[in-house]
Structure 1
Amino acid sequence: MLLISNGDVAANSPGRQVDVLSLHTYRPIEIWVISEGQICPIFFRLLLLFFYSVRYLSSCFFLLSSFSAMSSSVIPRGQVDLVDFVDWSGVECLNQIGKNPIANALKQGYRDDDGLHLESDADEQLLIYIPFTQVVKLHSAVITGPEEEGPRTVKLFANKEHMGFSNVNDPPSDSFNISADNLKGKPVTLKYVKFQNVRSLTIFIEDNQGGGDVTKLQKISLYGTTVDTTNMKDLKKIEDH
């Protein structure tokens, strides 16, 4: 048997070492010419090279996919997640089903659990009231859900207390349609001038993507900044006196 390496011809000499170019590093590696009773190590090196190449390509694909997902739901520059400023004692949701309440989509930890969601009850509409412990400025929102049952038409009302479904036709502070990218976590930028002094936010979900009777929300995240350090609970106490 003859083995050609770098223009040299190696005769069939058992145990003779020859230099060849590695497919991976382009550096010389030593192999043994196959002889009776021996197994050629280059076969195993090629297998290892193939194995690590597949792992490398898989890792690159995973990192690119992860980066794409993270970039679509990243917190906007200069803004913070306002979840820490929600007054949980006052949060309400009309037409939610008891086993899948608003906390599943709004509370930190709950909203990141793929097995939890907010679900409508009698029909596809939901009316969510979120008060804050401090006055905030709203910049953007992330509202996610399933492809078919996820929300579609959304109306936002700033500082509208005790709204009911009879009030949802009032002029909203902002309204928009949720796109397929929004359902996966891409933030919706709000009309910032309309949300400069927000004490509470009411979210009206009018319908869903598939036009069915059940709407599901997996996550609601609100991004913005606080106006000052005034605690709304303390302010209410002062006003009561």
Structure 2
Amino acid sequence: MEVALLTVGDELLSGDTENTNASWLGRQLTAAGATVTRVLTVPDDESVIADAVARYHEAFDAVIVTGGIGGTPDDVTKAGVAQAFGRDLVVPDGVRAHLEAKAEQFAADNPEMVDRYEMELDLDAWASIPEGGQALLTDESFAAGCVVESVYVLPGIPAELKAMYATVADDFDGDRTTATIHTPAPEGALVGAVTAARERFDVAVGSYPRKDDAPGRVKITGDDPETVSEAAAWLRERIETV
């Protein structure tokens, strides 16, 4: 299963916010056996989002889009996805009712905050999803995420992203298997063994340098668990390990 990640946000491109969502999703998907084939970050621009979603939807088994899905002016992620499919944004009655009840409970629990900041939520914007999509709702997020065909639209706030991803995680089971070898050796000393393993076994082998006090890594990935295991054992006999 090949998955593309599309992270949306001007703040990601400017470096104001670190893109931890992409790395977290990459780890989850790889652990599930899926293969992340693309990671792209785009600005809060509806047409740019639409273009990327349309291209990736055609090219990959699934696309995960993360970004603003609430009701502020720069939350255009869902609108961009709707444009990619040529659909309108709609407000399902059940989704709006869910968010309205949630907003009322929040106001009851936080009256001083609501009064102080004169908070008003655009519930239609928070509840909207592309027509024909499946809404995704969690306790952690006010706004509704959604699934449109094989495109998954999730929040940009990390805690909300993780909670909503958990509701669809079972959709990303794959056949990829990974083994990791930790080594104190520098990358230059691994070239021969890594090259030979790639030629000898039907696997992908990558080497990654030491970082701070952590050892380097050799990562073996393939579709057949037995082949991955054999390649890892072969490499362990030829490189220094920790």
Pick the TM interval, shorter chain.
under 0.3
Question: Structure 1 length normalisation: TM-score?
Answer: 0.23
Larger radius of gyration: 1
Which of 1 and 2 has higher RCO (CA within 8 Å, sep 6+)? 1
Give the number of the structure whose residues are more often strand, by fraction.
1
Question: Structure 2 length normalisation: TM-score?
Answer: 0.23
